Homo-oligomer: A and B are copies of this chain.
Amino acid sequence: MKRMLLTISYDGTAYHGWQVQPNGITVQETVQNALCGLIGVRPALTGCSRTDAGVHARKFCCHFDCDDKFPEKAFLRGLDSLLPPDIAVRDCAEVPPDFHARYSAKGKTYCYYILNSRCRDPFAARYSWKIEQELDADKMNTFCSGLVGRHDFAAFSSAGRSVEDTVRTVSECTVTRSGDTVILKVTADGFLYNMVRIITGTAVGVSFGKIPPDATRDIINSKNRAAAGDTAPPQGLFLEEIYY
């Protein structure tokens, strides 16, 4: 047996997130089905994170164990040909047997895309949150800069989280504007349930004057979800990078 690390990208629009669940098709089971078609057995497949329904990944890693006889190329070409157009194989490589797609990750980068425009954009509709009222990227940045560091992010986590330890280290949290697109980028050693979507919703609340830009520390210290802003919708969120 050998352990393989599979790197994929996917458009999450049609999926109920990564993890197999009873009420809808997921990315995990779709990849498992394709793997089963290729190697004849349905391997356990462990993902680097559990992205929500409608969230996208430009880079997503998962590991599985398989017989030594299957070459990497079979996964790159064969698996890719068995996957639907909205999931693509980017890479496949053997890793040490103790490597773990989730626990070996040192960090991840997410980007949240906001279309800040009066007009709809048919090409961005599935990949952004459309907000008509003009956003103030400077105000959002002031709020976001306060998140950088090692903090208890319980206030930025939805109920339903599976972890008890809510302390994470955010190394980067910036807001930039490129034309009509406002991009919130966060890098951290780990993320809590809905953390980026709550950070984004709160930053938008700051831009609209509902929350003071310097309230970041107060919200963190409250450890209270109600102190933060709304949860931004899923379709603007992209897992961009995973660091091992």
Interface residues of A (CB under 8 A from B): 9-11, 56, 58, 80, 85-90, 119-123, 125, 127
Contacts and interface: CB of A to CB of B under 8 A. Distances in A.
Given A85-B125, A125-B85, A120 B80 contact: yes
A11 B119 CA distance: 14
Contacts of A122: 9-11, 85-88
A9 B89 contact: no
A244 to B, nearest CB: 19
A107 to B, nearest CB: 23
A9 B127 contact: no
A63 to B, nearest CB: 19
A127 B121 CA distance: 14
Contacts of A56: 123
A85 B120 contact: yes
25 contacts: A9-B119, A9-B121, A9-B122, A9-B123, A10-B122, A11-B122, A11-B123, A56-B123, A58-B123, A80-B119, A80-B120, A85-B120, A85-B122, A85-B125, A86-B122, A86-B125, A87-B122, A88-B119, A88-B120, A88-B121, A88-B122, A89-B119, A89-B120, A90-B119, A123-B127
Given A85-B125, A88-B119, A89-B120, 20 more contacts: A9-B119, A9-B121, A9-B122, A9-B123, A10-B122, A11-B122, A11-B123, A58-B123, A80-B119, A80-B120, A85-B120, A85-B122, A86-B125, A87-B122, A88-B120, A88-B121, A88-B122, A89-B119, A90-B119, A123-B127
Contacts of A86: 122, 125
A19 to B, nearest CB: 19
A131 to B, nearest CB: 15
Contacts of A121: 9, 88
Contacts of A58: 123
A122 to B, nearest CB: 4
A87 B125 CA distance: 10
A118 to B, nearest CB: 8
A210 to B, nearest CB: 25
A80 B90 CA distance: 38
Nearest to A125: B85
